[in-house]
Structure formats: C-alpha cells, structure tokens
Structure 1
Amino acid sequence: MDPDTSDNLNTEDVINTPRLTPAARLLPEQLLATKFLIPASSHPYLARPRLTALLHAGLQRNAILISATAGFGKTALLSSWIQTLGPDDPQVTWISLDTCDNVPAQFWTYVLAALDHCWPGISALPLTFLYEAPQPAWQSMLTMLINSLAQRNERVVLVLDNYDKITEPTIHALISFLIEHLPPALCVILSTRTDPPFSLARLRARAQIEEIRTEQLRFTREETEAFLRQVINVHLSEQDMQEVQTRTQGWCAGLQLAAFALQGRANPGDLLQELHGSQHAILEYLLHEVLQHQSSKIQMFLLYTSILEHLCPAICNAVLEQQDSQSILEELEHANLFVSPLDKEHQRYAYHPLFAEALQYRLEQIAPEKMSTLHLRASHWYATQHAENEAIQHAIFARAWPQATALIERIPSQQLWSWQTIPFWIEHLPSEVVRARPRLCLAYAQALFWGEPPDITKDWLHAARTAWAALRVREGNATGNRQAQETEAPTRLLGEIAALQAVIAGFYDGDAGAAWAYSEDALTLLVEQQQTAHIQVTFARSLATLSLGNFEHAIQTLQTGIAQVEAKGDTALANICLTRASWDMTITGKLHHAWQFAERTIRSAQTANGHLPAMVCWTYARQADLLREWNRVEEAQRLAEQAIQLGEQAELNIFLPLGYTILLKLALSRRALEDAATAHQLLENAWSRMPVPYCYTLYSAVDQVRFWLTCNDLERARSWSRELEQKALLVSPLARERQEIALARIALAESQPDEALARLAPLVARAKAEGRWAHVLEMWLLQALAYQIHQQWQEALVTLTLAVNLAAPEGYIRRFVDEGVPMADLLTRLRAQEQQRELTPYLDALLAAFDNAHGTQTKQQENEEHSEAIPPLLDLLSAREYEVLQLIARGAPNQEIAQTLMISVDTVRHHVSNILSKLGVTNRTQAAIRARALGLLSSAS
C-alpha cells in the first residue's frame, strides 16, 4: 500500500462501488454524512503561517493543489487553516473522497450535495443529470452548475480531500473542465498524493492555480522542534533534535510516530540511531515500536479494526465479537493514538489513513488468516444495516463469493441489469463464480452492450444460459429441500436472456432469422410484468425486418415499441426507439418525417427542466446528417461535434463510428481534405475497437470508399473490394446493397460505367419495391453519371429527372452537390432542357449550391466561353500531365501509370494532384468527366 498520514477518511483500495441509476440513486439522506465533516485533530496543531499564507493567496485563483506523498500533513494543514478563517472569509465545504467515489454519478452527487450546504438549492437542477441511463449528460450538467455559480456573490471553497483516490478518467476530465471555467464564487482545493492527470501547465499559464508541494510541506528545523515540544510534549537534546530532523526530513508522519516511540525512553538516541531507510521502512519500524508499548487487548483492537473505513462501537463489536468497543475507542482518542472523532457525539471515528494502512500491513504479516474472517463479519453487519455497497465490498475483500453474489442478486431483477457499477463488482469476482450465476452473467452482458464488442456480450449471454441450465439441474435434484424458496433459475430469467440475444442478433449482426427465433423463444418464457424484456423483443423484431430492407414494416413495429415504452415511462428506451425510427424514415426518403421523429425523441428525453441525457447523442447525430443534407453544413458540424462529445464522455463505443462517419461526410462536403483525413482515422480506430461488419457496412462503408476516391487513392478502394471478395457474405440484404453501391462507385472511378450500371440495375428495382427511396435516389444519381461517361445524354437526363422529382419535395441538396462537377454539368443541361417548367426553382437552388460549394460555372456560362476556356486548360496541362490524364480516363491505377510512363509512383501522384487542381475537381472520376466535357481526351480514351 501507499500510505498517507496527512489525509483523513480512507477506504480499502480494492474495488469501486456501484454506479447509481434512477432506481438506486443516492438521496440526500442516504449520503454518508461523515464524508462532509472537516476532520478534527486529535492534538493541538502547530501554527505554520508560511503555509496558511499560501492558502490565503490561493483563494484568488480557481484552484489550489496540495500535492505530496504520504504523511506530509495535507489534511491536517487544511483542517487547521479552516479553523483560522473568520466571518469575512469564504465558507468551506469538505468531501473526504475514497475509492468508492470513482463512480462519476456518485462523485458528483457528493460534490453537488457539498455545494448545497453553502448554497441551498444550487444542486437541484444539476442533480437531474446524474441518473440518466445509461450515462448522464456531463457537459450539460457542468455547464448548468457553472452558470449557477456565476450568479452567486458569496464565495465558497470546495475541498476535495484524498483526491488521489480518484482514478476514473471521466471524473478527471470533468474536474479539469470545471476548474478552467470557474467563476470567482468558487475555489476548488485538491489534496492529493499524486498530481491529477490533467493539464496543470495550462492552469499555471492562465494563473488559475496555486500549488503547495512536498518541499513546502516539510517541517523546517524550527517547526520540528516546536512540534515535538509544544504538541507532543517530547523534550530532546539539541543533538537528538537534529537527529530527528535528519532522519525524518520534515516528514510529518515520521515525526508523529517517532514522538510516540520516544515517549518514556531514557535514552532517545538509541532509537534514533536505528531509524533508517525509506519512509515506508521508517513507518513500519516506528509502528512496531508504538504497538509493543500497548496492551495486547489494544494491539488486537487496533489491528482487527484497521480493516474498517469508519469506526463505531457497533461495527467494532461485530468485527471483534466483543462488547466494550466504546470504552476502547475513547481510550484511543484520549491517548491521541491516531484516531479522530468524526462527529460531535464521539460515536464515529476514523484512524489516520497512514496508520490504518500500516496496521493492515502488520495484520497481514502476523495473522493473514484473520483478514477474511474480519471482512466477512463486517459484511454481515453492514448487510443488517441495509448498507449494500459496504456489505458487498467487505464480502469481496473476504473472498466470500457466495455472500457477495447473494448480496448483488438481492437487487431486484428489473433493476440489476441497469446498475452502472455491475462491471466494477463483477470484475473483482472470480470468473468461474460469475459464470455460475445466470443473473450476474445477464447483468454483466447488459452493462457491456453499448461499450464492448458484441462477441464479449454474446459470451456472457452464453454463460448465462449455461449457468441457468446447470442451476435447473441442481434444483431438480434438490426439489424437496427448496420447497418455498424462490428458484434461482426461473424460466422468466431465460426469457430475459433470449430477449437480449434477439436484440444483439438484430442490432449487431443483422441476422433476421436469429433475431426472430430468439424473440419467439423469449415470448414463450416471459411474464407480463417483465415489461423491459417485452420492449426489447419488439425492438429486436423491428431490427430484424430492417436488416431485410423492409423499412415500412420496421417502422410499424417500432411504433408498437414506442407506444410500449411511452406507456412504461422509460425515457431511455423511448430515446433508442424514436432515434431508430428517425433513421428508418431517412432511408425511406422522408427527411421531414425523420426530423419530426428526432424532435420527438428530444422532447421525450428532456427532463422537466429541459435537459437531456448522454444517449441523445444518437439523435443529435441523425439531426446533424439531416442538416448536412439540407446544406446547413455549419449547423450540422456543431451538432455532430456535440453528439461525439457526449458519446465519448459516455463511452458509447458503438455510437462513435456513426458520429465519426458524419464528421467525415461533413468534411467531404466542405472539401476539407485534412479534416476528412482526421475523421477517417478516428473512424478506422473506432471500428477497430468495435469490429462489427454489419454495422460498419450500414454506417460507414460507402462513405469510406468516397473518401478514398476523393483522395485519389483508387488502389486503396480496389484493395477494399478485393478484401470484400475474400469475406463471407453478410446475411443482411440491406448490408449487401450498401456494399454493392460502394463497388459501383469504385467502378465509376475506374471509368467502367458498364460495370457500375450492371451492379446498380437490380439494386434499384429491389430498393424501389421495398421503399428505400434514399438509396434509390443515390443509385439513380450514380446511374446518371455512368450514362454521362458514355455520353448517353438522353438516358442520363431521364434518370436525373427521376432523381430530381424524388428529391425536390424533401429538399435534398448535398446528395447532388457532393457528386461534384460532373453532376453540376448534368444539372445545367437539365436546367436548360426544363427552362420554365415546374422543376426550374429546385434546379436553380441546386445549381446555386454548386456555385457556393465548388465555385463552378454553369454549363451555359461554360458554353458561352467554350472557345476561350479550352485553350488555357490545354496550355496549363504539361505534356506529361496530358499523358497521365489519358491513362486516368482509362481507369489505370498509379502503379500502372508509373510502369507505362516509366516514372515513379510518387511522381504519378504529383501529376494527378496537379491535374485535379487545374481541372477544378476532387477525384479521378470527376477529372475524366470534366476532361471529356472540355474535349481534352482523345477518342481512344
């Protein structure tokens, strides 16, 4: 262990406690009141004005960092300083942190409650964010808190003691954000053994932080002398005093323990000569010296109760199986033996953390077999007090797996799967213990659904089924012994397992057959009261029909699920179903209906105060994509970034690829290739963390191919195509359709319009029959471009007219504009053909968008300047670039061009880049089309 004598409340550094959910939130009366108490010193504290002056100066900054290793008196300094504050100084509110507070919802519940002590009512609105499933909207919560603080005039200091106990990255990121944006009303003090993992350099540069570190906390020679004489009442010779200073190096913990060991010694020099080694070695030696002067009863009490975070007579009596703990605690307090009262009534105490850790270390050395027994006794006592968190902790410390699992499973089944700390508990149980408990396996699978690859979730669901079957066999063999007891493996539990398997099959695999089979299995096993599982089945069925491409049926099924969740009042499930319905509407081409569903999702998810949970990131992403399609690119960019920020904070790993795909599409729409490359890298990294071929194909495959083609990386696109041929076919017809569209784009880039048309024709027919009009629109545009390459203008314009008629009512813009200059040429021809007919205003809007996006000229303008336009282009292209252009038009990759012209591939890339720039296009396909339109290509090309 890494001891710390300076800090107050400590807890065993083994596990985190459960995250909180709406069904299990920490209400004010359930918060541990002692965590808010400013620790009282067990002896008079030595005034250290040089340090209190630094603390007073730090009040003018956003934060004060007190960072030093164990035992340098951080907590004691703060406690003493607070006692010196007068009525005109800021109020102080205190939290003693421990490892249990690594759950973000629990951490912020305590922070808000602490601030509420000084500013009553300030926590009411932010608290609504803390219990959203599966994750709160942290950024919104902090923004609201900061805005509320900005309206306060009276000043408050928030002390976060033992901040080194916090290891959760989300908490560190949020504290950093809070400190950087604090208004003058609040100053945060972090007391910690180690520096927090956020940018102190930035805070220093902005003069937002005051720092007090180890060297400043060390007792000077004069302070050491004053401490020993005035506080501990130990009088040493000048030589011995110097020896204490030399040995302890101003280390507060060493001074305290040395003082206890020195009391009553005739010759202090003998002990001082034996002190050597590291701080930990000195601590162990001094602890031994202190213990050996105590009675055997006090030694046993100290060692056995060191496992407890807080001491009270009842828990101590339970752990030691005795009845006189009250008198012993009073004796320890009177002797100043590293125990401090936590309340005015002196009914609750805590050991100095470093002292407690050293006692635990000693207990493990001399009586390791007692540790499990003591923790188990503590677990039983906490269970009788309905303190589930502490009871489960001590059961795990005791390695009492039956006790720990029984306590976890005491949580009602409908709540168990949504407890956010299930992973923290389960990861500290042996795998074989968890895999023997179907409820725990199911709960773990539910908890991992959004953040881990589906194979992991499937493995735990398989384990749940296996455990269920094994329990049923054992229960069958012991029927007479169970009688009135509830079965541990009811059939309804198997129904919940099947319901989640159905969702996974539909959501992650696109396997309609498996999703339907699991759904039917679930419905035969579930009872009416298992509403959440019934809604999961409905959702799985809609996913199954969607994977087949039948969006109308999928939407109808989702409508049933939406009615169910709204009746149940489950906003999290409503968010999921409504967001899915918005996406389905987008694929059917009904963009305005899709937007309405998204708005309905937000209204459904909003709290009474108008705030939203992190899961709204899905909705924001859908809205961003709709805004992008309507050419409201800046708005879309802001909303997409907000969605991604929420998804990253909530660690919704399956959402992030969707968010990064939309970022990629936006960058391509803005022709910002550096941003596109960044988004593409993020996208690839996200899919590497969540390798889900079905979801990748639906969300990202086509746009990834578009990126490669825009970057003239035709070889990478071809490589993807070859890799696709080596893989097993996806079971979903919808996913295979997306793959075919991507392949058609590659064919066009290779100037192989016939192949593109051959791929697209059957796809268009099926998509029209099944109502996937957004896909139909995309495919019609690709067909028009294929006809354009062939210079089959009539076919191109007829197909384009179909696309325009389909797109006009919904206001599609980017679907046309993102196809680039060749599409602008086609639309200009169609505009000239239409003249003053019905489509003219929409065509004018499209062409205006092209002008803004590409800075291109209309075909009419080009025709008027045709005789002047071509010669400059011919002059601009060098002879070598003209040769490269001819080969590009034939679909030759860079390697083939290099071999044909006997130049390096890098030189080819340089020429291609120049050609694209001079022609005003972004990819090879556009270059070929543009060159043909300008008459730059030979007939052979």
Structure 2
Amino acid sequence: MSIELIADVPGASGFDADSSLLDSKFAVPAAPPFMVARPALIARVTEGVQGPVTLVTGMAGSGKTQLLASWATSGAVDWPIAWISLETSDEQLPAFWTYVIEGLRRAGVAVPAVPGGTASRAVLGRLAAAIDEQPTPVVLILDGVSQLTDRDWATGLDFLLSHVRQLRVVLAGRWDPPLSLYRYRLAGQLRELRTADLAFTAAEAARLMDLHGVELGTPELTRLLEHTEGWAAGIRLCACALQASPDAKRLVDTISGDESTIAEYFVGEVLRLQAPEVRRFLLETSVLDTFNPALAAAVTDRTDASRLLSTLTRENAFIHPVGDGSGLYRYHRLFGELLRAQLAWAEPDEVPILHSRAAAWLAEQGRLVEAVGHAAQAADWGTAATMVVEDYAVGRLLIEGSAGRLGGLFAGMPEHIELPEAVMVQAAIAFGDRRPAKAAELLAYAGKLLAVHGSTCGDGLTLTGFLVQILLLAGGPEPERVGELCAVAETFLAVAPPERLARHPELRVLLRTAEGTALNNLGSVDAAVDALADAAGSIVPGCETVRIDCLSQLALAEAYRGRLGRAENNARQALELATDAGLGRGDRPGIAEVVLAWVALERYDIEAADRHLRLAQPLCGAEAGAPAMLAYAVVRSRRLHTRGELRGAVTALRSAEQAAADMAAPRWLSREVLLSQIRLLIAGGRPDDASGLLERCPDPSSPDVAVVRAALSAVRGESPRAHDVARTVADAAGVPAPVALDAWLLLAVLAAQSEDASGAREALRRALRVAGAENHRRPVHQAWGQLRRLLRDDERLAVQFGGLGAPSGAAQAKAAAPVPSAEPVVVESLSKREMDVLRGMAAMLPTEEIAASLYVSVNTVKTHVRSILRKLSASRRNEAVRRARALNLI
C-alpha cells in the first residue's frame, strides 16, 4: 500500500509556507454565546479518549462539533490535541494526510517530514513511531468524517492505529466512517456517542431558553422537548422563534417543522444533499407515522424502499428505527411536519392517494385502526366505515364510543352522510357515547339507506345492525325481543371468519351482557344473574367498562335477593376495576356505591351506610339512568325510615319514581320502589293510601307483593287472612331471604298480638335463622318494638338476636356461650344515665333509638355503653344485660 502525499515544502514544519492549507481547518470552533455546558457528555468523551477510538455520530445539528470543541478547550486532559475540520475535497489521500500531519505538528507533535510524494506503510510506521515517542497520548479530532466517501483514508488510519500506542482518534460525523469499527468494538477499544446520547435534557433545554431570554414553565418545556426530541438545533431554532414573542408559553405548541427558520435548516442541511428520487421518497412516505419497508414500498410504488430506508438511517437523515430489530421506522417529528407541509403545498391532490394506498395495505395486514386512520385522512369515509364493519370491529365502537382510539378517528366524518355503512358506524359510536336515542335514530336511518341504495358489505353489516339493535332493546322498552335477536346474532357469529372473531372477543361479551340486562329488566333475576356473571367473568382487554356494568347489575340483583355477601363482593370488584381502569370520580359506578350502602344498612352498620350514600348521591342523578336513581331512592328511604322520617322516605321514593318514569329499569326494582312506599304508608298509619298504591302494583301474585298485602290486612284487623298469606310465603321454597324474613317477622308480630307466645317465639326464631345467614339486622330492628317482651322473656332468643352481625362463627359461639356461674362483680356503680342506657340495651334498642329517647348524641350513648361494659366486666352488650339481671339492676 502506498499513500500519495504532498511533497515536502520549505518552512519549519514543512507545511507552514503552503498557502493551500487553511488555518481555519485547524482551529477549534469558538463557543457561541448561547453555549450550554454539558459536563456529563464531556466526561464521556474524556473516558473515551482513554482508548484508541471515540466515535461521535448524530444527525445534523445534534451538537457534535460544539461538544468536542468544548471538550478540547476544557482542559479535561493535559495532552496535545490536534483538531481538523474535514470537507468533501479532503478525501483525496494527499490532502487528508497533509492535514493530519500538519494538525499534529501544530499540536506540538514532532512529526518527521515525508520525502517524495508517497507515504508507504513504512512511512506510516515511522509516523507511528514518532507519535509513540511522545511522553503523553496525542488526541487527533477529525470533525466531519462523514464528508469523506472514499475508503482509502480509513484504511491508512486503521493501519496507523494498529501500530501506535499513544494515538487517540476522535471521529465525528453524521454517520459511521468506513473504519473497521466492529474490530475495535469487539476488542473493547471503541467508545460511542450517538444521537440519543446527544439529545438535550430538560435542564439543558431550560438553560438554552434562559440564554435566549425565553421563560417557559415545566409543562411547556416538557412539550417542547417531546416535539423536538431533544434535538439541539431544533431547540435553538425554537428559542429564536419564541424570543420575540411576548407570550412564549402559548406559542410553544404552535411551532412545527414548517416554521421558516426550521424549514430552512432542513432544506439546506438535509433535503439539498439528497438525490431527486430520494427527496420524492421522503415526501411520499411522510404521510406515514411508523412504517416498515413493505408499507413504504406500497405507498411509494418503489421496489428499493428497503435499501433507501437503510441508507437514510445510516446517514442519520432524521429517520430513526423504532425499537430493536422491529423493522419499523419513523421520521423526526419536526422533519416529518416539514415534509408533510411541503407535500400538501406542492401536490395536494397526491396526499389522499398516498393515504388510500396506505389504508389498503394496512387493512390487508389486519391493522385496522391504522388503516381506518389513513382512510379518514383521505376523507374516504365510506372505505373507513366499511373496514370497521367488515372486520367485525363494531364492538369497540359500542364500548368506547368517540372516546376510544377507533371511534376518535371518525370525529371528522360529516354528520349528514348518505352511506349506510357510515351511518351504522355513527349509530354505534352514539351508543358508546351513552346517547341511545341518537343511536336509535341513526340505526333507523341506516336501514332506510340500505333499502334504497343497498351495500356491498356482507354479513358484517347485518351483524353490526343486530348488535346495535340488541343493545338498544336490552336497556330500552322492549327487552323481551332481545332473546330472539341474540339467537340470530349468534348464528351470524357461528359462520363468521374465525380470525376476525379471534381479534374481537368483545362481541360475545356484549351479546351476553345484553342478554343479562334484558333478563334483569324483564324481572327474571335468577337467569339474569347467570348471564351477567358469565359476561363479568370474561377477561377481555378493552371490556373493562362492560365488566363494571355487569358487576354493578349483579351486585344490585344480589342485594335484592338478600345475598349480601355476594352483593358486596361484586360491588367492590366493580369499584376496584373502575379505579384500575383510571375512571374519574364522576365516571365511577354509582350503583356499586348504592349496593354497598344497601348491604351496610341491612346489616345495620349505620355509619358505613351513610358514608356510601354520600358517595353515591352525586353518581345517581338522571344522567346515571333509572336503575341507579331508583336503587339510591330505595336505600335512602330505608335509612330515613330508621330515623323515623317516614314522610321524607316516601318523598324520596316518589321523586325518583317520577324522574325515572320514561326510563327503562328492572321490573323488580320498579316494583320494590312501589312496595317500599306501601310499607311506609302502612307504618305511618295510612292503610287506605297504601291500598290505593297496592292496586297499581304489577305481578300481584309475587311473594313480596303477597307479604305487603298481608301486612295491610294485619293493620286492618284481618289477622287470620294476614296469617294465612304470610305463612304461605314463609313456607314456600325459593323465596328470596328478605321476603321470607318479612313473612316470618309478620307472623311473629301477629302471634304476639294474639297472645300466642309460643307461636310468636317460633316465628321469631325462624326469622332470626333466616336473618342470620346474611346478617339481615335492619328488618329485625324495625319489628323489634313489637317483639321486645318476647326477647326479654326468652334468653335463647336474645342470644340469637345478639349473634346477628357477628363477624364469624367463633364470635357467635362466644356470644352464645353460657355465663359463668360465679357471682358477677360490679366494678363501679352505674350512674343514672348509664342505667337508662342499660335499659335500652336490655330492650334491644339500636344505639340511635336509645340516643333519640334520651335526647343525647349517638357518640354519648356509645361512651356510656363502653363504661357499662367496663363496670360490669363484660365484653359484649348481651353479656352486660345478663349480668345486670343477675344483679337485679334491671
């Protein structure tokens, strides 16, 4: 190998007299006034020069030159540093080595003159020997090596590095030089700084803004960094654009790649350097966000897309691979914005064509959302809607509406459009947005368009129509039609392409949910629970809101059936899932909070019931739907009843009933609202009003209606009739626990009123057994005023009642344990007020009733109870009462 060199010339260094050498090429660039210190990167360069090769590559304007200039003048090392700025003309070997030798001499390295016009390996060997004679390492910085396209200079530099110990070479350019980098990398002799390493941090960007007199807050600075991707020149150009603005914070989001100064930079530093066909390729692929070579080839109709992308990436032409080995690419945001702006300005008619090509290719690959996005950008709404329909993706629209990624793509679709596929999509989005009336209107309009124009879509459009109709009917006025339509929809799913169904498992979840909702609204609670539980158990990504709805409906139905444990579990799952799904406070399931209040109140946990009612109240307005409003009214009325506010309880129910008059609700829930009013009127001594309402009650043969009719007969003095009806219900199989409990309690009251002590005790015992399974305390407390004497005279009943609400079987056993035979000891005498509280405890009055009778607060009563337990050496209330009786205190 021989390397041509410029012949030795007169002068101390052998080159000083040569006027062809430009002094500026050896000068370390001066720091600009807006220079930002980057100590972390300076330290990495210092670390790099401990080895033979340091490589700094990045796209134009990433700060390579300024970083190395800062390092060279920082004094990080006390070694000779030779700086050479390279240009395209320097790739010829005589010029290249001339500048290398002259740069070393100017750095103070005694490099021997090279006789003649060539430099052989022997000459480079002597050069290596001269460098190794230096007492310290020598740093050679070659800035702009990507300008040199020939490989010979790299071959000579590789040879030199392999024979020298004291030389440290720093190479800077937009892409990798043709050195044997892999060899240095494998040997651990290469240190690299790439585009990502050169990106500005938030602190560095803030400092650059300060130097330009631009004040930005943290949010604006964060958005600026995201938009520029930390690109140094981009941040600097943005700072220049914002410098003259009085409201820089507001303008941050308006800066894009087609801003004049940024556009000029891209044109001058990137596009100008590319061949015409490459510039064309860049413009056409700019309509894509992330793409692979196949998609780029489809859009540009080129067969060399893969090669072009590899070349552009290697040259850091503002195009980046996405991830490791994914084969995807994307443009720098600002660069992509410039390309799109130029394409739209120069060839506006070409833009929709390119988007349509992209949509067609993506649809073939099953990438529906991206395909629809490009069809939407081409304003081809018919194609966009057809893609959704034919892919069976309507379920996503029905669940997410316009807030979802797919639904959001149709935001720009004209409201009035005469394409049946597009109108059907609009109907699905309207349903997902909780606008059922609008969805029904659009569904009808789509049917008319189909009748007139027809459609090229196949079963996908028919299934879409069925799904929208089924979901509208399930929560609407005709739930009885849902079962038949679901069967038809299942038939279509059975013959649908398996790969499409595999992509959309939400379709079966939606059908099962609709079936459960319809059964619930029809009053078939048991069948509804099975269907809703099936749907809620389907863990399908993206169906969180559907599962929340199913769990909420399940919880309410279970609470109505008296299965308080299941109701509470389903309600808590719904609320936890809402939290995990990131739903805001106003979007949380109000029904779930109502159910927790329902459960707490039935267990007579007043504090918890009040807390959940407060949380549920803002979530159960008219916009929440009839089930939430009516369920809230039922629980609130029961709470008001416990406080003796019968009129307020009736008003709460009537107001909710009127507000939900035109809304669909489960028939059992509407009936419960009516029956609750009748019970309150009976309790308030208004049997005639109660009788009038009872005539309105649907399903007069249902057990709950029968028990209320029996209670009405009882207050009218028709005890035998009331007894027969209540007994029939109490003895019937499959009666929900709350209804059976009401029946047994009514039988106990009737027996007590007729002085049938044994019958009353037996009925009460049966009632407590029913109540004990799920700790139904509220109905027992409300009936206890008429049954106190029975409890006072029957220790076993008192213990059974005291066991209601015990947390476990062990606690119940403890409550029922016999009192030791030893003489009870009074630690301290009870005060008069404590005696009053003790009498209330003996009468099994709840804390609130004791407080009301004594005209004190609930907390005061609780304080007295704790004192009584301490003074009587008791751990529970019933134990304290037994000891008080043994001491003849009561």
- TM-score in terms of structure 2 length: 0.50
- TM-score in terms of structure 1 length: 0.48
Which has the bigger relative contact order, CA under 8 A and spacing at least 6? 1
Q: Rg larger in 1 or in 2?
A: 2
